Chain A
Amino acid sequence: MGRQITEMLKGTLEGIVLAILSGRSAYGYEITAWLRDQGFSGIAEGTVYALLVRIEQRGLVDVEKVPSGKGPPRKVYTLNARGRDHLEEFWTTWSFLTGKLEQLREGGN
Protein backbone atom coordinates (compact mmCIF):
# COMPACT_ATOMS: atom_id res chain seq x y z
CA MET A 1 0.00 0.00 0.00
CA GLY A 2 1.16 3.47 -0.79
CA ARG A 3 2.20 6.11 1.66
CA GLN A 4 -0.96 8.11 1.09
CA ILE A 5 -3.39 5.39 2.06
CA THR A 6 -1.30 4.64 5.17
CA GLU A 7 -1.56 8.28 6.21
CA MET A 8 -5.28 8.44 5.54
CA LEU A 9 -5.90 5.21 7.40
CA LYS A 10 -4.38 6.67 10.56
CA GLY A 11 -7.30 9.00 10.97
CA THR A 12 -10.00 6.56 9.94
CA LEU A 13 -8.93 3.18 11.30
CA GLU A 14 -10.83 3.70 14.53
CA GLY A 15 -14.07 4.36 12.62
CA ILE A 16 -13.43 1.35 10.38
CA VAL A 17 -12.88 -0.96 13.34
CA LEU A 18 -15.94 0.35 15.19
CA ALA A 19 -17.99 -0.17 12.02
CA ILE A 20 -16.74 -3.77 11.72
CA LEU A 21 -17.65 -4.37 15.37
CA SER A 22 -21.12 -2.90 14.89
CA GLY A 23 -21.92 -5.90 12.72
CA ARG A 24 -20.62 -8.55 15.11
CA SER A 25 -18.17 -9.22 17.92
CA ALA A 26 -14.68 -10.17 16.84
CA TYR A 27 -11.16 -11.10 17.93
CA GLY A 28 -8.30 -8.76 17.09
CA TYR A 29 -6.95 -11.31 14.67
CA GLU A 30 -10.26 -11.50 12.79
CA ILE A 31 -10.35 -7.74 12.39
CA THR A 32 -6.83 -7.68 10.91
CA ALA A 33 -7.70 -10.60 8.61
CA TRP A 34 -10.85 -8.81 7.41
CA LEU A 35 -8.91 -5.62 6.68
CA ARG A 36 -6.31 -7.57 4.70
CA ASP A 37 -9.03 -9.35 2.71
CA GLN A 38 -10.53 -5.98 1.86
CA GLY A 39 -7.25 -4.82 0.35
CA PHE A 40 -5.65 -3.01 3.29
CA SER A 41 -2.76 -5.38 2.90
CA GLY A 42 -0.09 -3.26 4.55
CA ILE A 43 -1.85 -2.99 7.88
CA ALA A 44 0.18 -4.31 10.81
CA GLU A 45 -1.48 -6.50 13.38
CA GLY A 46 0.27 -4.48 16.07
CA THR A 47 -1.33 -1.28 14.80
CA VAL A 48 -4.79 -2.84 14.99
CA TYR A 49 -3.93 -4.15 18.46
CA ALA A 50 -2.86 -0.67 19.62
CA LEU A 51 -6.18 0.66 18.39
CA LEU A 52 -8.13 -2.07 20.22
CA VAL A 53 -6.25 -1.24 23.42
CA ARG A 54 -7.29 2.38 22.94
CA ILE A 55 -10.97 1.78 22.31
CA GLU A 56 -11.04 -0.57 25.29
CA GLN A 57 -9.43 2.06 27.53
CA ARG A 58 -11.98 4.62 26.35
CA GLY A 59 -14.86 2.28 27.13
CA LEU A 60 -16.19 1.99 23.57
CA VAL A 61 -16.18 -1.82 23.61
CA ASP A 62 -16.93 -4.59 26.06
CA VAL A 63 -14.23 -7.21 26.27
CA GLU A 64 -14.60 -10.86 27.09
CA LYS A 65 -11.66 -13.19 27.55
CA VAL A 66 -12.24 -16.52 25.89
CA PRO A 67 -9.88 -19.46 26.51
CA SER A 68 -8.10 -20.59 23.37
CA GLY A 69 -6.64 -23.92 22.39
CA LYS A 70 -3.23 -22.41 21.80
CA GLY A 71 -1.65 -19.48 23.55
CA PRO A 72 -3.20 -17.03 26.00
CA PRO A 73 -6.96 -16.39 26.26
CA ARG A 74 -8.28 -14.32 23.37
CA LYS A 75 -10.13 -11.08 23.82
CA VAL A 76 -13.46 -10.78 22.07
CA TYR A 77 -14.51 -7.19 21.42
CA THR A 78 -18.16 -6.12 21.34
CA LEU A 79 -19.35 -2.61 20.55
CA ASN A 80 -21.32 -1.14 23.47
CA ALA A 81 -23.74 1.83 23.67
CA ARG A 82 -20.93 4.32 24.07
CA GLY A 83 -19.13 2.80 21.10
CA ARG A 84 -22.30 3.11 18.99
CA ASP A 85 -22.59 6.79 19.86
CA HIS A 86 -18.97 7.23 18.94
CA LEU A 87 -19.48 5.47 15.63
CA GLU A 88 -22.48 7.72 14.86
CA GLU A 89 -20.26 10.73 15.49
CA PHE A 90 -17.60 9.26 13.22
CA TRP A 91 -20.11 8.87 10.35
CA THR A 92 -21.29 12.47 10.80
CA THR A 93 -17.71 13.72 10.65
CA TRP A 94 -17.00 11.44 7.71
CA SER A 95 -19.99 12.78 5.74
CA PHE A 96 -18.90 16.33 6.44
CA LEU A 97 -15.36 15.63 5.30
CA THR A 98 -16.23 13.70 2.16
CA GLY A 99 -18.88 16.32 1.26
CA LYS A 100 -16.29 19.08 1.48
CA LEU A 101 -13.79 17.07 -0.54
CA GLU A 102 -16.35 16.41 -3.27
CA GLN A 103 -17.00 20.14 -3.47
CA LEU A 104 -13.29 20.78 -3.88
CA ARG A 105 -12.99 18.16 -6.58
CA GLU A 106 -15.89 19.66 -8.50
CA GLY A 107 -14.19 23.02 -8.29
CA GLY A 108 -16.85 24.85 -6.30
CA ASN A 109 -16.08 26.41 -2.98
Chain B
Amino acid sequence: MATESPGPKSRYLQYLEIITGSLEEKKRYRQYKARIKRLPENYRTAAEALERYLMHFGPADGAGAMTMYEDLADLLEQGAADRTPIRDIFGHDPVEFVEAFMANYPAGQYRARERDRFTSAVARAAGEGNTREDRTL
Protein backbone atom coordinates (compact mmCIF):
# COMPACT_ATOMS: atom_id res chain seq x y z
CA MET B 1 0.00 0.00 0.00
CA ALA B 2 1.03 3.62 -0.50
CA THR B 3 3.11 5.48 2.04
CA GLU B 4 1.35 8.10 4.16
CA SER B 5 1.60 11.52 2.59
CA PRO B 6 1.93 14.33 5.14
CA GLY B 7 0.23 16.94 2.97
CA PRO B 8 -3.45 17.30 2.17
CA LYS B 9 -4.98 14.26 0.57
CA SER B 10 -4.89 14.16 -3.18
CA ARG B 11 -8.16 14.22 -5.03
CA TYR B 12 -7.47 10.66 -6.08
CA LEU B 13 -7.03 9.52 -2.49
CA GLN B 14 -10.18 11.31 -1.38
CA TYR B 15 -12.08 9.59 -4.16
CA LEU B 16 -10.58 6.24 -3.30
CA GLU B 17 -11.53 6.59 0.38
CA ILE B 18 -15.14 7.25 -0.54
CA ILE B 19 -15.14 3.84 -2.16
CA THR B 20 -12.94 1.87 0.20
CA GLY B 21 -13.34 3.63 3.56
CA SER B 22 -10.57 5.42 5.39
CA LEU B 23 -7.09 4.12 4.62
CA GLU B 24 -5.93 5.21 8.07
CA GLU B 25 -8.57 2.95 9.64
CA LYS B 26 -7.59 0.08 7.40
CA LYS B 27 -4.01 0.51 8.55
CA ARG B 28 -5.06 0.49 12.21
CA TYR B 29 -7.16 -2.59 11.58
CA ARG B 30 -4.23 -4.42 9.98
CA GLN B 31 -2.05 -3.49 12.96
CA TYR B 32 -4.69 -4.86 15.31
CA LYS B 33 -4.86 -8.12 13.33
CA ALA B 34 -1.09 -8.45 13.49
CA ARG B 35 -1.17 -8.00 17.28
CA ILE B 36 -3.84 -10.69 17.63
CA LYS B 37 -1.80 -13.05 15.45
CA ARG B 38 1.14 -12.76 17.86
CA LEU B 39 -0.92 -13.85 20.89
CA PRO B 40 -0.61 -17.37 22.34
CA GLU B 41 -3.09 -19.72 20.72
CA ASN B 42 -5.85 -19.80 23.35
CA TYR B 43 -5.85 -15.99 23.71
CA ARG B 44 -5.98 -15.71 19.93
CA THR B 45 -8.90 -18.12 19.72
CA ALA B 46 -10.80 -16.08 22.32
CA ALA B 47 -9.91 -12.84 20.53
CA GLU B 48 -11.23 -14.13 17.23
CA ALA B 49 -14.48 -15.29 18.83
CA LEU B 50 -14.86 -11.89 20.46
CA GLU B 51 -14.15 -10.15 17.18
CA ARG B 52 -16.85 -12.14 15.45
CA TYR B 53 -19.36 -11.04 18.10
CA LEU B 54 -18.26 -7.42 17.81
CA MET B 55 -18.54 -7.54 14.02
CA HIS B 56 -22.18 -8.54 14.37
CA PHE B 57 -23.25 -6.30 17.21
CA GLY B 58 -20.61 -3.60 17.65
CA PRO B 59 -19.62 -0.60 15.54
CA ALA B 60 -18.71 -1.94 12.12
CA ASP B 61 -16.27 0.74 11.08
CA GLY B 62 -15.02 4.21 11.84
CA ALA B 63 -12.47 5.49 14.32
CA GLY B 64 -14.61 4.33 17.26
CA ALA B 65 -14.45 0.74 16.07
CA MET B 66 -10.68 0.91 15.67
CA THR B 67 -10.26 2.25 19.20
CA MET B 68 -12.40 -0.65 20.39
CA TYR B 69 -10.21 -3.23 18.66
CA GLU B 70 -7.05 -1.60 19.99
CA ASP B 71 -8.41 -1.62 23.55
CA LEU B 72 -9.25 -5.29 23.07
CA ALA B 73 -5.71 -6.06 21.91
CA ASP B 74 -4.34 -4.20 24.98
CA LEU B 75 -6.45 -6.34 27.29
CA LEU B 76 -5.43 -9.63 25.69
CA GLU B 77 -1.75 -8.80 25.36
CA GLN B 78 -1.71 -7.87 29.04
CA GLY B 79 -3.58 -11.04 29.95
CA ALA B 80 -1.18 -13.17 27.92
CA ALA B 81 1.86 -11.46 29.47
CA ASP B 82 0.49 -12.08 32.99
CA ARG B 83 -0.72 -15.55 32.03
CA THR B 84 -4.14 -14.63 33.35
CA PRO B 85 -6.39 -17.65 32.71
CA ILE B 86 -8.89 -17.08 29.89
CA ARG B 87 -11.78 -17.71 32.28
CA ASP B 88 -10.52 -15.03 34.66
CA ILE B 89 -10.48 -12.48 31.84
CA PHE B 90 -13.85 -13.37 30.34
CA GLY B 91 -15.69 -14.51 33.46
CA HIS B 92 -18.37 -17.16 33.68
CA ASP B 93 -20.66 -15.24 31.37
CA PRO B 94 -18.57 -13.94 28.46
CA VAL B 95 -21.63 -12.25 26.95
CA GLU B 96 -21.95 -10.07 30.01
CA PHE B 97 -18.32 -9.04 29.61
CA VAL B 98 -18.55 -8.33 25.89
CA GLU B 99 -21.72 -6.27 26.31
CA ALA B 100 -20.10 -4.14 29.05
CA PHE B 101 -17.04 -3.72 26.87
CA MET B 102 -19.00 -2.85 23.71
CA ALA B 103 -21.14 -0.27 25.52
CA ASN B 104 -18.10 2.03 25.67
CA TYR B 105 -18.04 2.59 21.92
CA PRO B 106 -20.46 4.02 19.40
CA ALA B 107 -23.31 1.65 18.59
CA GLY B 108 -23.09 -0.24 15.32
CA GLN B 109 -25.08 1.13 12.39
CA TYR B 110 -27.76 -1.47 12.69
CA ARG B 111 -28.28 -0.97 16.43
CA ALA B 112 -28.06 2.81 16.17
CA ARG B 113 -30.66 2.91 13.40
CA GLU B 114 -33.08 0.66 15.26
CA ARG B 115 -32.61 2.60 18.52
CA ASP B 116 -33.43 5.85 16.73
CA ARG B 117 -36.41 4.29 15.05
CA PHE B 118 -37.71 2.89 18.34
CA THR B 119 -37.12 6.16 20.24
CA SER B 120 -38.96 8.25 17.65
CA ALA B 121 -41.76 5.70 17.35
CA VAL B 122 -42.37 5.96 21.11
CA ALA B 123 -42.21 9.77 20.90
CA ARG B 124 -44.83 9.67 18.15
CA ALA B 125 -46.98 7.25 20.12
CA ALA B 126 -46.69 9.58 23.11
CA GLY B 127 -47.87 12.44 20.94
CA GLU B 128 -44.65 14.42 21.28
CA GLY B 129 -42.76 16.42 18.74
CA ASN B 130 -45.32 16.45 15.95
CA THR B 131 -48.46 18.31 15.08
CA ARG B 132 -50.64 15.26 14.81
CA GLU B 133 -52.93 15.02 17.83
CA ASP B 134 -53.31 11.33 18.34
CA ARG B 135 -53.42 11.16 22.09
CA THR B 136 -56.61 9.87 23.53
CA LEU B 137 -56.11 11.12 27.09
Contacts and interface: CB of A to CB of B under 8 A. Distances in A.
Interface of A: 6, 28-29, 42-47, 49-51, 53-54, 57, 68, 70-72, 74
User: Chain B at the A interface: mostly helix, strand, loop or mixed?
Assistant: helix
B81 A50 contact: no
Interface string B72-90: 0011011111101000111
B91 A44 contact: yes
Given A68-B81, A72-B77, A43 B91 contact: yes
A57 B89 contact: no
Nearest to B88: A45
B100 A50 contact: yes
A5 to B, nearest CB: 13
A47 B81 contact: no
**Top 5 closest pairs, chain A to chain B, by CB:** A71-B81, A44-B91, A50-B101, A50-B100, A46-B97
9 contacts: A29-B78, A42-B91, A44-B89, A45-B89, A49-B75, A70-B81, A71-B78, A71-B80, A71-B82
A68 B81 CA distance: 10
A47 B78 contact: no
